[in-house]
Every structure is written in C-alpha cells, then in structure tokens.
C-alpha cells in the first residue's frame, strides 16, 4: 500500500511538471458600422446640434460685422434691419457662406466624439470608412456621375426656372461663388454623410431595420432643405432623390465610404460648373442647358 501511494504521488508530480499552453486572450469583436458603439439618442443629439450650429455660428460672425457697418444694437428696429442687412450686404452674404466652415468642423468634432466614445473606439471603422468589396471602389464614381445627370433632369423638368435664395447668394459676388464651390467639395460631402448616413442611419437601422431607417433619414434630410429651396419643387425633389440613392447605397453596401465618394463626385461636378459659369457665353447668345443647376449645391452644403 505504501508503494502504491508513493507511485500515485510520483504520477501527480509528473502531471504537475507538464507545461500548460497559455490560453489565448479573448479577441475583441470586430467593429461593424451597422452595429455602432452609440445609440439613437446620441445620433439625434448630434443631428440637432449640427442644425443649431448652422444658426448660431453665422449670427456670431454677422452681429459684429453689422455693427461695424453702422447698425446699432440699441436701435428698436435692429432685428428687422439685421435681417435685411444679412441678405443685401455682399460682405454679409460671403460671411454667412464662410461661416459654414467652422460649422462643418465643429460638426465633425461632434461626430468623432460620438462614434469613438471620446477616443475609446477607432473612428474610421466605427463610422464605416472602408470599401465593402472591390466593385464599390469604381462603381461609386460612376454612380456619382449618373446621379448628377438624373438630378439635373429632375430639377429642370419639375423646377423649370423658379429662382431661390441660393441663386441670389451664388450670384452676389465671386467670393461667395468660390467659397460655396470650395465647401461643396472639401467639407460638405464628408460632414453631411457622417451625420445622416454614418450616424443617424446606422443607429436607426439597428433599432428599426433599413427601410424605416431610410425613410426617416430621407425625411430629416429633405425637411431642412425645403425652406431653402421653396418654391422650386424640382430642386427639392432632386435633393430627396439624391438622399434616397445615397441611403440605398449605404444599406446595400453596409459601409459609408461609397456614399462619401458619390457625394464628392456629385458636388465636384457642380462646383466645376459653378466656377466656369461666369466665363461662359451669356444665355442670350447660347441657350443655357442647365438653368438653376447651381441651386443644387445647397444640398451639399447642409
């Protein structure tokens, strides 16, 4: 019996001396743009704050400028005079356009804070900045051109030559024209897609599915453009059409990058036309095939 116990003890010692392979550390779940690290409440807050910035920042810049130009805060009619000044003074118009740049930058900061949870998650993966597969890397460029053509046709057929506020802004000065072209290409496609298809759609889709998420995103996107384009129904419909197409691409591809490229191409073509338009022959000698085309730019600025 003593020998048996001794043998068992030796066996246990042998087992104890066998090296145990270390267990691999649990791998974190891959980041998925369709299952973002934020909820609907945060997405709606970012959307709302982006609209607030579009109201507050221009006022902050315009009030000192208007006072410098002769308006007085103590004047009982200051608000009325200020409103008229904002749409008639060329410098004030340019200042409102330029104010979109800090609006876009601050909005980007809000999106970053939400998508990364203040730096705890990678921004690009959380927002969907990647190609779903190779075909989207070239298809997005083609779709951008096709959607631009479709938007021009819709705006022409339904809107005819109905003027809007945007046309007045663009034609007010070359500085306003160049500023709009710059913002429409280098900031608007990114910030706008981050907010609507990157944040809002992603959070809504997880709760309601892609159809309701798409309809809601379309409604919010179009709603804020109606006052800007009224009464040009053609431009409003063209903006809604673009939003539908981008949302479908977001749902089908599962990523945001194709939407950004499409929006970039769409706005890029418009900006080229916007920049060369002053140097083209007048409409009196050669018919203009794209009347009010520049009005579509507002869809890229907000």
pLDDT bucket at 166, cuts 50 / 70 / 90: low
Burial of 278 (0-12, 13-18, 19+ CB in 10 A): exposed
How would you classify residue 94: left for phi > 0, otherwise alpha for psi between -120 and 50, otherwise beta? alpha
Determine contact, residues 249/200, Cβ cutoff 8 Å: no
pLDDT digits (tens, 9 = 90+) for 253-286: 999 999 999 999 999 998 998 888 888 775 443 3
Percent of the chain at pLDDT exceeding 70: 79
pLDDT digits (tens, 9 = 90+) for 217-248: 988 888 877 776 777 788 888 888 999 999 99
What's the rounded Cα separation, in Å, for the pair 278 and 177? 10
Indicate whether 287 pLDDT > 50. Answer: no
Residue 247: CA atoms inside 13 Å, Cβ hemisphere, count? 28
**What angle separates helix 174-186 from helix 100-116, to the nearest 10 degrees?**
10
- pLDDT, position 253: 92
Name which of 51-60, 145-154, 221-230, 252-261 the model is least confident about. 221-230
Distances (CA, A) of 127 to 89, 99, 227: 40, 26, 29
- pLDDT, position 168: 72
In terms of average pLDDT, the best of 12-16, 269-273, 291-295 is 269-273
What's the rounded Cα separation, in Å, for the pair 240 and 236? 6
pLDDT bucket at 24, cuts 50 / 70 / 90: low
- pLDDT, position 285: 38
- pLDDT, position 247: 93
What is the pTM (predicted TM-score) of this model?
0.82
Longest dimension (CA), the chain: 117
What is the secondary structure of 232-257 as a DSSP string? -HHHHHHHHHHHHHHHHHHHHHS-SH
Indicate whether 150 pLDDT > 80. Answer: yes
Q: Nearest CA to 294 among 147, 188, 166, 176?
A: 166
Eight-state DSSP code of residue 160 = T
How would you classify residue 288: left for phi > 0, otherwise alpha for psi between -120 and 50, otherwise beta? beta
* 171 φ, ψ (degrees, to nearest 5): -85, 0
What's the rounded Cα separation, in Å, for the pair 231 and 162? 7
Name which of 30-39, 63-72, 104-113 the model is least confident about. 30-39
Q: Which structure tokens are listed for 116?
A: 């990364």
How far does Cα 96 stand from its chain's mean position? 19
Domain residue spans of the chain: 38-301
- pLDDT, position 2: 54
- pLDDT, position 138: 93
Higher pLDDT, 6 or 213: 213
Across the range 287-296, mean pLDDT stands at 39
Q: Which structure tokens are listed for 302?
A: 């907000």
Indicate whether 159 pLDDT > 80. Answer: no
Across the range 77-98, mean pLDDT stands at 90
Percent of the chain at pLDDT exceeding 90: 46
């Amino acid at each position: 019996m003593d020998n048996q116990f001794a043998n068992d003890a030796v066996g246990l010692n042998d087992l104890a001396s066998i090296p145990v392979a270390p267990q691999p550390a649990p791998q974190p779940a891959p980041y998925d743009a369709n299952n973002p690290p934020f909820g609907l409440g945060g997405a709606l807050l970012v959307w709302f704050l982006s609209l607030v910035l579009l109201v507050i920042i221009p006022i902050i810049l315009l009030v000192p400028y208007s006072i410098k130009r002769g308006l007085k805060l103590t004047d009982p009619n200051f608000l009325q005079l200020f409103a008229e000044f904002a749409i008639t003074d060329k410098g004030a118009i340019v200042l409102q356009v330029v104010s979109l740049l800090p609006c876009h930058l601050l909005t980007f900061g809000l999106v970053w804070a939400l998508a990364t949870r203040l730096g705890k998650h990678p921004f690009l993966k959380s927002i969907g900045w990647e190609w779903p597969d190779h075909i989207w890397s070239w298809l997005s460029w083609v779709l951008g051109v096709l959607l631009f053509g479709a938007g021009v046709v819709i705006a022409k057929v339904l809107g005819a030559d109905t003027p809007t506020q945007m046309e007045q802004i663009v034609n007010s000065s070359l500085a306003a024209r160049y500023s709009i072209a710059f913002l429409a290409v280098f900031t608007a496609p990114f910030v706008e897609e981050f907010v609507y298809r990157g944040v809002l759609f992603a959070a809504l889709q997880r709760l309601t599915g892609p159809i309701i998420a798409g309809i809601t995103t379309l409604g919010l996107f179009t709603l804020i453009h109606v006052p800007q384009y009224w009464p040009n129904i053609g431009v409003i419909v063209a903006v809604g059409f673009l939003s539908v197409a981008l949302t479908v691409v977001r749902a089908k591809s599962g990523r945001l990058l194709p939407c950004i490229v499409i929006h970039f191409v769409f706005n890029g073509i418009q900006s080229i036309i916007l920049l060369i338009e002053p140097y083209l022959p007048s409409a009196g000698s050669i018919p203009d095939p794209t009347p009010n085309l520049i009005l579509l730019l507002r869809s890229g600025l907000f």
